[in-house]
Amino acid sequence: MERITVAVVGALGKMGQETVRAIQGADDMELVGAVDLFSQGEVVADGKVKVEQDLAKMLAEKKPQVVVDFTRPQDVFANVKIILEHKIRPVVGTTGLDPEQIAQLDALARKQGIGGLIAPNFAIGAVLMMEFAKQAGRHFPAVEIIELHHDKKIDAPSGTAIKTAEMIVEGRAEPRSSTAEELEKIKGVRGGELSGIHIHSVRMPGFVASQEVIFGLPGQTLTIRHDSIDRSSFMPGVLLGIRKVLTAEGIVYGLEHFL
């Protein structure tokens, strides 16, 4: 069986290390390259793959079919551009890309005649949570999102929270917003707002990634919650993305399109 050749960018980070292990354990994949800006010459995959610092150099030498990016919000746009310019398909789990950047990457991917995946969340349960929230949003006008992550996460709100709010708005027949007057005694206490949906971000040790979407109607509330208690929860989705991206056209935004 011909295996899919894969490289990982951010290979020494927690998500990168988990991804390396998952690819090693997949019978239909082979890890051929690894990149990390903080590499001091480490090796991964049982000593078979050296972790390099230069992404473009690695891509030119190893020529993987797919590159998985778990890096930093400030680096991901440049990384994905380099990957696409080498006509290689990216699978991106790094959050922080805005709609304009995603549109630029989509245009570049189509120009190169390839596809890619940008997924705010790779956990299958989180993807289902977003889909369920979209359905509930059609019937509940009032909704707020609380996302909880580890204290090392840089960007807020999370990509999952933004994607959830976008999906709820997309599923509604017409825009909805509260008309109640509010007085914030502490600035920002009501969180951020996207299309009338308040989003609250929590950052503290002990969490990996959790989100709850709270809906309200007179006399009742509905809470949809997902918890990733270990980074291994993301790996089935990462492997699915690697397999499915081989036939994608342009940039696909959200793992739900591959389920």
Name the amino acid, one letter, at 80: V
What is the average per-residue pLDDT within 4-10?
98
CA distance 207 to 29: 30
Q: Which two tokens stand for residue 84?
A: 């696409």
CA dihedral (13, 14, 20, 21) positive or negative: positive
CA distance 125 to 69: 21
For residue 5, which of 112, 69, 88 has the smallest C-alpha distance? 88
CATH superfamily ID and name for 4-118+232-258: NAD(P)-binding Rossmann-like Domain (3.40.50.720)
Instruction: Report the share of the chain in percent with pLDDT over 70.
Output: 97
Q: Please enumerate in sequence order all residues whose Cβ is within 8 A of that of 135, keeping only pairs 6 or more positions apart, or say none.
A: 171
* CA terminus-to-terminus distance, the chain: 24
Read off the DSSP letter of residue 2.
Answer: P
Domain boundaries, the chain: 4-118+232-258, 124-228
CA distance 254 to 225: 18
Residue 57 is a catalytic residue = no
| Cβ neighbour number for residue 178 with a 10 Å cutoff | 12
For residue 128, which of 91, 96, 167, 159 has the smallest C-alpha distance? 167
For residue 208, which of 155, 257, 152 has the smallest C-alpha distance? 152
- What's the pLDDT tens digit per position in 49-67? 999 999 999 999 999 999 9
What is the average per-residue pLDDT within 148-177?
89
- Say what the pLDDT of residue 46 is: 86
Residue 153 is a catalytic residue = yes
Q: Is the peptide bond before 157 cis (omega within 30 degrees of 0)?
A: yes
Of the residues 149, 163, 200, 226, which is catalytic? 149
- Say what the pLDDT of residue 138 is: 95
Fold classified for 124-228: Dihydrodipicolinate Reductase; domain 2 (3.30.360)
Give strand pairing partners of 224: 213
Q: Which two tokens stand for residue 184?
A: 């914030």
- What's the pLDDT tens digit per position in 83-125? 999 999 999 999 889 999 999 999 999 999 999 999 999 999 9
- What's the pLDDT tens digit per position in 195-241? 999 999 999 999 999 999 999 999 999 999 999 999 999 999 999 99
CA dihedral (62, 79, 84, 159) positive or negative: positive
- Say what the pLDDT of residue 76 is: 97
Whether 176 shows a pLDDT value over 70: the answer reads no
- What's the pLDDT tens digit per position in 30-50? 999 999 999 999 999 888 999
Of the residues 86, 153, 198, 244, which is catalytic? 153
